[in-house]
Homo-oligomer: A and B are copies of this chain.
């Protein structure tokens, strides 16, 4: 029940996913609403079932409060299905804070993971995807948290984007090894010994140029980075639109180039990537954008299934166990 137009994109996305045999889908929410929506598309079929949940978490709900008070929310019921082994993973396009809180509490963290991390997936100018983590507000991270993020992000990138040896960078303020703040300098020392292709420090400008595939940072930085990007894209679009409607020839130009704009928007459209994974929880949790359409939901289901089938959590626990230096415990 998470998208802005819920449950329409969810139901349609589930149908697409089931039709393409990506996964068997359990739709969680008010049963009568979901059943009606499914009927519009010709009924549930063999690969879709419904589990009833009487409440929904909204964008206005505070994460912790909604967790305590809405015990029968579609979000919490979904997480319970995963923790009870009745589902392998969950996909939600709802309130990001609430999804993270719920997943962390109900699913719990993998062995060796101190802090589950939210990974943003976005396109670069080279056409391939990049992953930035943490963007889920793990503030005041310690160096070993960043090293854990590196391992989780690298395994995710390898499995989902089929790269054999993704390059992992540490977000800093200069590419030289000694550049950075206390946190990044200590994290650098840990990361160079990890079993990943560590490309060293990268700068803000490297986020979108494809120089590295996985970029690791404290959750405060990651959140600021993501929101600056969103804000800047909005500002550029609105300034460009103003400029393009300022006189007749540019209006004509705009109409003629509209197809190109649409093509451009499609290239930067992250519905292709299936949302942001919350890495490090027991089970699988994908957070899709609130404005997700059916295709985005379908892709999130696809990625969740690949996550399960690729046994990513086993790999994460395995690599963290062998990288003994990372534990905060002795």
Contact = CB atoms under 8 A, between A and B. Distances in A.
A60 interface: no
A235 B204 CA distance: 12
Contacts of A253: 252-258, 260
A125 interface: yes
Nearest to A126: B235
B229 A232 contact: yes
A86 interface: no
A173 B253 CA distance: 39
Contact of A228 (B172, B205, B220, B264): B205
A207 interface: yes
Query: Which of A137, A208, A242 has most B Cβ within 10 Å?
Result: A208
Nearest to A139: B181
Interface stretch (A243-251, A282-290, A321-329): A243-251
A227 interface: yes
A263 interface: yes
Contact of A225 (B204, B234, B246, B257): B204
Contacts of A239: 125, 264, 267-268
Interface string A187-210: 000000000000000011111110
A137 B179 CA distance: 10
A228 B243 contact: no
A219 B182 CA distance: 13
A230 to B, nearest CB: 6
A260 B180 CA distance: 40
A206 B221 contact: no
20 contacts: A125-B239, A137-B173, A173-B219, A203-B224, A203-B231, A205-B234, A207-B228, A208-B231, A209-B231, A220-B221, A224-B225, A232-B233, A244-B257, A247-B259, A249-B256, A253-B256, A253-B258, A253-B260, A254-B260, A256-B256
Given A208-B228, A249-B259, 13 more contacts: A139-B173, A139-B182, A140-B182, A181-B220, A203-B227, A204-B227, A221-B224, A225-B228, A249-B257, A252-B256, A253-B255, A253-B256, A256-B256
